[in-house]
Structure 1
Amino acid sequence: MIRFGVDVLIAQNPDFKNQRIALVTNTAATTNQYEPISLALLKAGFNLVKLFSPEHGFDAKGADGAKMQNGVDQVTQLPVISLYGDHLSPAETDLQDVDKIIFDIPDVGVRFYTYLWTLTYVLQASANYNKPVIILDRPNPISGNWQLCEGPMLNEQYCSSFIGRWNIPLRHSCTLAELALFFNTTKNINADLTVIPCENWDRNKFQPEWGIKFLPTSPAIRNINAAMLYPGLGLLEATNISEGRGTALPFEILASPWMNHFDFLSIAKTDGISVESIIVRPNEGKYSGQDCFGLRFKLKAYDHFKSVYHGLLLIKLIKDHYPAYFKWATYPTNVNPDGTNHLDKLLGFPQSEAFFELPMAKFKTTMIEVCNAGAWAEEIKPYLLY
């Protein structure tokens, strides 16, 4: 069974546990016995004085992109300071009564999943206010397999945002601690950083092989099938196609009221994945209260599925198949209130909508080039832990 960084730390029983500790986390972060880490650390004698929470809030149930307020954890009675509210980084006043910061939030291995970028702001606050930070690492649920790493890389000059601050692949095949070590050096953050690696993880293993059940990391990532599809189907946010929010199958389907020609089913099929037609009625988000026709995807094998490639190709097929209906869409959030240029921010390169205007043959060859992240494996190599 996997031992998460928190399991390793508690077993170490370190001397610093009597210091005043701020914990950056949410309730999706548990021990390998499914106990929330805030509670587990308190029981083990760690002197937690406050909590910080990322997007979706401390309970990991807040709506996507919705501003999260400060609060109190009802279980531990510790104050919770939101890092997805009025500020994205811990303020100096937030850390005045803190000796050390611990960070532990489950990730899903995708550049536009925001927990990673909360970590970068915590690293910068650690350096700015001279507060040592400890990262309790966790495996990447969609694996650290380098053959499955996919671009696009991110153009920082034009596309840096809270869903992608810095230049890494869209599907990065790393753990958060590995990325923290990389950024701490390459971005000259120079925080006093300690990493507690997880144990018993082979980076080619996917979450079902851990011996631990999948716990939802946020409201719309409810299972490993959704997590595996998310690097590609997450791009639907920038379109007028539902990605399944407001249904029982977020990021496992695509649907719309106008996508009712089921001959599309045959051209959407690909190796390693089963596709079936569905009818859903979202109760929130796009097309709330309307019958929508679409497709449901179920992975049959994880070890060769290229999720970004799959998502890009699906969008191109739909756009070409339904030219009178398909549209690009804005996606307003707390950090991007007008929701503009969302596709550029997701994909990481400017004027990305033009990419989908290419003829299909040219689109496919260009897509292979865009998704190539081969140089990343060498760049990140000195910072790998597993």
Structure 2
Amino acid sequence: MGIYLLFSAVLFAGKITPAAERPELYLPLLKGKSIALVVNHASLIGRIHLVDYLLKHGIKIKKIFAPEHGFRGTADAGAHLGNSRDPRTGLPIISLYGKHKKPTKKDLKGIDLILFDIQDAGVRFYTYLSTLHYVMEAGAEQRIPVMVLDRPNPNGHYVDGPVLKKRYRSFVGLDPVPVVYGMTIGEYAKMLNGERWLKHGVQAKLTVIPLKNYTHDSFYSLPVKPSPNLPNDRAIMLYPSLAFFEGTVISAGRGTAKPFQLYGAPKYRVKKFSFIPKSRPGARYPKYKGKRCYGIDLSRVDIEKERRRKQLNLSYLRDAYVNYSDKKHFFLGNSFFNRLAGTDQLRKQIISGASEASIRKSWGKDLRKFRKIRTKYLLYP
């Protein structure tokens, strides 16, 4: 099916404006249609939720699809979410997490257009990407157009990490892209279509409403945390490097006041810094709940210095492995770490003590290939 793109002249100076805040570009395309929204707590126009804004302007919303963490963005990572109704509007909410990750034919009955507006973090294993993949696939199969309201990528200034291998596909990585892919959600949607990565090579009838005044080198501080454990710019910046710990015995700070801004475990050898994870909103059952962990505090890392690296910081993973006293059990049976990395090679390299330079060299060929693909779909310099 054909791809169509609404792209007005974009001036790359001044305040960055998310597509949701450019209603003059998309409201005329929604009039008279029955709409399904894929949204969460960050789908805002200023302080007004997109759902409320569209209803106020007479748009007929039939239902809401909610990704991981739910419509209000408060659920734990990986928590089961059931279907419900929004108490404010009475609209039905269908969870796209757990066993029901893709809208069904029944879900989409009577829908004329699917509108997707989710704030991404720019990392392959952040599951909103997989939700986009399945939503576009369902739209293509049911011949229902998909519109993406583009939003800035806070990690959009670089491309790095191993490219996902097909055998390691899962909900934390469906597509053959590196850990950090340097694209907005709208650009990524174009790539899914153009590279025919959807099931059986189907293509959605796609509209991307563009950002204004955005470049890939722009620094954009998210006005709302995209999920419970990414509370600030530093956590979002460190997330691509620290989320590998989710597949190891190391805590990345869930259950503390500084998630993804520290790391450690009870058996970490250096005892200069410690923390105790506790049950908190968005992390009810954190790793090592109530136990003292030793490790490294990254809450004072210079954000600008890290941004200038334009690379994953492998020193954290290598340090944790070297300083963990029970290396045999470091990788939690290997499988989840491999899915996060998109390959089993990184695990083997860490175990063997490979240098950072040799690890990066092993990514080179795949990264060069991906960068050529990526270039075809960029909307912004």
TM-score range, shorter chain: 0.7 to 0.9
Distance 1:376 1:118 in 2: 21
Query: 1:100·1:131 contact (CA, 8 Å) conserved in 2?
Result: yes
Alignment counterpart, residue 78 of structure 2, candidates 49, 65, 68: 65
Q: Secondary structure at the match of 1:94?
A: coil
Per the alignment, residue 368 of structure 2 pairs with 374
CA change 1:347–1:53 in 2 (3 A) is same
Alignment counterpart, residue 309 of structure 2, candidates 305, 313, 332: 305
How far did 1:258 drift? 2.5
Q: Deviations over 1:155-174 (max 9, x none)?
A: 01x11111111101100110
Distance 1:64 1:306 in 2: 27
How far did 1:376 drift? 2.4
CA change 1:129–1:281 in 2 (3 A) is closer
Amino acid at match of 2:83: N
How far did 1:67 drift? 1.6
Q: Return 350-359 or 321-330, whichever deviates more.
A: 321-330
Distance 2:191 2:362 in 1: 23
Q: Secondary structure at the match of 2:94?
A: strand
Q: Deviations over 1:305-356 (max 9, x none)?
A: 3452x2x3322222223343673344xxxxxxxx961111001113542221
How far did 1:371 drift? 4.6
Aligned length: 352
How far did 1:10 drift? 4.6
CA change 1:288–1:354 in 2 (3 A) is same
Distance 2:120 2:205 in 1: 22
Per the alignment, residue 176 of structure 2 pairs with 167
Amino acid at match of 1:192: K
1:10-21, aligned counterparts within 5 Å?
A: 10=24, 13-21=27-35
CA change 1:73–1:42 in 2 (3 A) is same
Query: 1:9·1:196 contact (CA, 8 Å) conserved in 2?
Result: no
CA change 1:90–1:238 in 2 (3 A) is same
Amino acid at match of 2:169: S
Alignment counterpart, residue 278 of structure 2, candidates 276, 282, 285: 282
Gaps of 5+ in 2: 1-14, 280-284
Alignment counterpart, residue 140 of structure 1, candidates 153, 162, 172: 153
Query: 2:274·2:292 contact (CA, 8 Å) conserved in 1?
Result: no
Amino acid at match of 2:276: V
CA change 1:303–1:319 in 2 (3 A) is closer
Per the alignment, residue 294 of structure 1 pairs with 295
Q: What percentage of residue pairs aligned between the two structures are identical? A: 34
Distance 1:313 1:29 in 2: 35
Matched, 1:98 2:111: yes
CA change 1:314–1:185 in 2 (3 A) is same
Distance 1:100 1:340 in 2: 41
Q: Deviations over 1:290-319 (max 9, x none)?
A: 1222212133114323452x2x33222222
Query: 1:255·1:294 contact (CA, 8 Å) conserved in 2?
Result: yes
How far did 1:12 drift? 5.0
How far did 1:279 drift? 3.0
Query: 2:253·2:277 contact (CA, 8 Å) conserved in 1?
Result: no
CA change 1:176–1:370 in 2 (3 A) is farther
CA change 1:57–1:25 in 2 (3 A) is same
Distance 2:61 2:152 in 1: 24
CA change 1:353–1:88 in 2 (3 A) is same
Amino acid at match of 1:82: S
Matched, 1:194 2:207: yes
Amino acid at match of 2:294: F
Per the alignment, residue 161 of structure 2 pairs with 151
Distance 1:351 1:196 in 2: 38
Distance 2:72 2:331 in 1: 29
Gaps of 5+ in 1: 264-276, 331-338
Distance 2:49 2:183 in 1: 23
Q: Secondary structure at the match of 1:81?
A: strand
Amino acid at match of 2:27: N
1:308-319, aligned counterparts within 5 Å?
A: 308=312, 310=313, 312-319=314-321
Q: Secondary structure at the match of 1:204?
A: coil
How far did 1:149 drift? 1.1
Query: 1:102·1:135 contact (CA, 8 Å) conserved in 2?
Result: yes
Q: Secondary structure at the match of 2:356?
A: helix
Amino acid at match of 1:113: Y
Distance 1:107 1:185 in 2: 20
- The Cα RMSD (Å) is 2.0
Per the alignment, residue 364 of structure 1 pairs with 356
Amino acid at match of 2:378: L
How far did 1:136 drift? 0.5
Which ranges of 4 or more aligned residues in structure 1 deviate by more than 6 Å?
Answer: none
Per the alignment, residue 119 of structure 1 pairs with 132
Q: Deviations over 1:227-275 (max 9, x none)?
A: 1000010000111111111111111110222325247xxxxxxxxxxxx
Distance 1:242 1:11 in 2: 44
Amino acid at match of 2:322: D
Query: 1:240·1:326 contact (CA, 8 Å) conserved in 2?
Result: no
Matched, 1:30 2:24: no
